[in-house]
Structure 1
């Protein structure tokens, strides 16, 4: 099993109608999210962003705009490194070209989501963080992957109270399930 490199990229993709390209994660962690992945041997964060969009969605990045860099205590399914659990994230907005050809291994239910539907997914994640939805219910019909809530709020893609964002942050620290 791979050791985590503690570095990740995330890539928000929108179309000319203002919809967000999102998918349900086929592997841990559960949730609906944009393209993302470890930097690993991709080189720079920008190189990794381009590679992850290609690997997960089959699209070619034509432009990247940096949104944020920050540390998040989110676990992944890899073995923790000497730095422990968590990732330094570089998050981008991207423009893309090509035909959508999603990875069956990493993605399911790939779709363009209108802003109101994205807000509904955020509300589901908040309900999960508040304990109104069980783990099994969230995995069966996920809201937004918790690590993404703050960034999507930062770019005004969703609206969530600061108290609810703190609750969601508690979800981020949950460990992945053991090997099956």
Structure 2
């Protein structure tokens, strides 16, 4: 079977519970990481239609109140055939979920969970630590943070802030999202030391 060609357009749907938590899933296989509902635009006629189609593959309600909150281009690898620049024009949409929601995993995503904003920020910081080399591949597979592209997306929505990343951290995560090549070992070691120092300072503040 031939591989699909990347359309360079994608959607991200943030399902919001009444307590402002967001529905996230774990990727079932590499590249590991936690993601909201994401998918390619493909042959749908509009971003919101594509988002609705993608969302209803993984949740049961008819989601008809999708509000666009950001549109951003991000360089990034894709498991489809890339004919032009590797990356996607992302449309990020939010949808309130007023009541109970039946959620199921799929062959590609598992363990759906409602995740509060503080936890989403911590997951993004773990992604930074992984990009810096302070988290090993095995540690990441066992306990992943946010998918790098999603960490960038959620830090690029000023009207709906979920993640805060300093410029240096965004650059590290962007390098991770763009492809398998990570920063040079000396640079990664330096950034890993910075990440560990910040983590230790934070732990000291909590003691």
Are 2:166 and 1:161 equivalent residues in the alignment?
A: yes
Q: Deviations over 1:129-156 (max 9, x none)?
A: 1110123322221101111223322332
Are 2:154 and 1:152 equivalent residues in the alignment?
A: yes
Picking from 62, 70, 75, the partner of 2:77 is 75
Report deviation, 1:27.
4.2
The 4+ residue runs of structure 1 with deviation greater than 6 A are: none
Contact 2:105 2:111 in 1 (8 A): no
- Segments of structure 1 that go 5 or more residues without pairing to the other structure are 176-180
Normalization by structure 2: what TM-score? Answer: 0.77
Show the counterpart of 1:110.
112
More helix by share: 2
**Aligned-residue RMSD, C-alpha:** 1.8
For 1:151 and 1:77, locate their aligned partners in 2 and report how far apart those are by CA, in whole Å: 19
Aligned length: 174
Contact 1:56 1:106 in 2 (8 A): no
Show the counterpart of 2:95.
94
Q: Which moved more, 1:98-107 or 1:155-164?
A: 98-107
- Segments of structure 2 that go 5 or more residues without pairing to the other structure are 181-207
Report deviation, 1:28.
4.6
Normalization by structure 1: what TM-score? Answer: 0.87
Show the counterpart of 1:40.
42
Show the counterpart of 1:119.
121
